């Protein structure tokens, strides 16, 4: 009989690529993980890992076992969720991760909504763009708030996607800037010569800014680069430059800014909650997904420009019962930031 904890270990080894990384991820020592994998090889009667002096990798048999193990562990989680759903009361710990601006924006409303569930504890962490979905798939977290700039995040056999809101790029300028006056039109060509603050090359928000300005030849000179949208907002508030940021970043409440919408149909991103299909009916996960949905509506009201995704009763995802089909990112409707 194969032990589930050893199946977890070999799946984590497959995801992380090394015994040391798998051990760090799961909180074990490398020697303990190595010993358990050796025991798993004895249980299966075949070599699962090809070890050399400097590395280790799965054999063909190891890769086949990982495929079976992922299905087995998913079924176990589904069984646990079914039993928990019949118990009915949210309890235990639910782990949520979010890209940084979403973590800041959603944390207050989530805390308010979930604190009445006295047997439930929430852990909300931050992850870089693109990691949240992988962490849900690997089982490291229960729910991830992810940003989707290109409409590529969709549900799959293992993951459910719940659209929350559309988040457009907006222009932020100091209060004393000429464009702080809403009667002065925003001209992208004139903005080329402004001192721009931006995230480093390769960051999703930087790519979005580059897309926004591509028709006018980009910025001139090259923008000053800073890690973190919060840092950029604080620099703009001090009068050092201007920036284009997702409207959600304004939830941090930085003062001294004027916010303008870009002309036409500005670049933006969609924000989704994603969770494993095998866990969404677990009371702790279900109630947290509902709280995230409510938080999205609070955020939309606070920011005014960011409208929570519209939902209808037919063909749209619903948190009521969590059993309706998930819509694609292209169905998400939003409006630009008001001046």
Q: What pLDDT, on a 0 to 100 scale, did the predictor assign at position 71?
A: 80
Residues 6+ apart with CB under 8 A from 245: 169, 170, 172, 205, 229, 232, 233
Count Cβ atoms below 10 Å from residue 277 Cβ, excluding itself. 18
Q: What pLDDT, on a 0 to 100 scale, did the predictor assign at position 305?
A: 45
What DSSP line would sit under 249-307, residue for residue? GGGG--SSEEEEPPSSS--EEEEEEEEETTTTTSHHHHHHHHHHHHHHHHHHHHHSSSP
Backbone angles phi, psi at 245, to 5 degrees: -135, 155
Give the length of the chain: 339
Q: Cβ distance 3 to 43 under 8 Å?
A: yes
Q: What pLDDT, on a 0 to 100 scale, did the predictor assign at position 219?
A: 63
Residue 71 token pair: 């299905």
Measured distance CA(95)–CA(279) in Å, rounded: 12
pLDDT along the chain (339 residues), means of 10: 79 83 79 86 87 81 84 69 60 89 91 87 86 84 93 84 91 93 89 88 87 74 81 93 92 87 85 89 89 86 48 38 33 25
Name the β-bridge partners of 98.
126, 145
Report how many helices (DSSP H) and strands (DSSP E) the chain contains, helices first: 10, 11
Is the pTM higher than 0.75? The answer reads: no
Q: What pLDDT, on a 0 to 100 scale, did the predictor assign at position 189?
A: 85
Q: Cβ distance 110 to 81 under 8 Å?
A: no
């Amino acid at each position: 009989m194969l032990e589930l904890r050893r199946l977890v270990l070999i799946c984590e080894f497959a995801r992380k690529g090394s015994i040391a990384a798998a051990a760090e991820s799961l909180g074990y020592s490398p020697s303990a993980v190595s010993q358990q994998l050796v025991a798993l090889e004895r249980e299966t009667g075949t070599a699962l890992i090809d070890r050399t002096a400097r590395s280790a990798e799965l054999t063909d048999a190891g890769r086949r076992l990982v495929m079976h193990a992922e299905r087995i562990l998913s079924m176990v989680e589904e069984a646990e969720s079914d039993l928990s759903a019949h118990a009915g009361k949210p309890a235990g710990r639910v782990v949520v991760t979010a890209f940084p601006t979403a973590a800041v924006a959603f944390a207050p409303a989530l805390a308010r909504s979930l604190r009445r569930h006295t047997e439930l504890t929430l852990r909300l962490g931050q992850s870089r763009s693109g990691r949240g979905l992988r962490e849900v798939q690997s089982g490291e977290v229960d729910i991830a708030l992810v940003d989707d700039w290109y409409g590529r995040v969709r549900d799959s056999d293992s993951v459910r996607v719940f659209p929350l809101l559309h988040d457009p790029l907006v222009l932020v300028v100091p209060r004393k800037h000429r464009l702080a006056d809403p009667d002065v039109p925003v001209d992208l060509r004139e903005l080329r010569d402004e001192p721009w603050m931006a995230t480093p090359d390769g960051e999703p928000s930087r790519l979005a800014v580059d897309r926004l300005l591509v028709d006018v030849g980009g910025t001139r000179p090259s923008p000053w680069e800073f890690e973190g949208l919060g840092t950029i907002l604080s620099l703009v508030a001090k009068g050092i430059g201007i920036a284009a940021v997702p409207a959600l970043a304004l939830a941090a409440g930085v003062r001294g800014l004027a916010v303008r919408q870009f002309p036409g149909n500005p670049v933006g991103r969609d924000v989704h909650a994603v969770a494993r299909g095998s866990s969404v009916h677990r009371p702790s996960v279900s109630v947290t997904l509902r709280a995230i949905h409510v938080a999205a509506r609070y955020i939309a009201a606070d920011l005014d420009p960011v409208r929570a995704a519209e939902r209808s009763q037919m063909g749209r995802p619903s948190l009521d019962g969590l059993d309706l089909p998930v819509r694609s990112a292209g169905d998400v409707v939003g409006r630009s930031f008001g001046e």
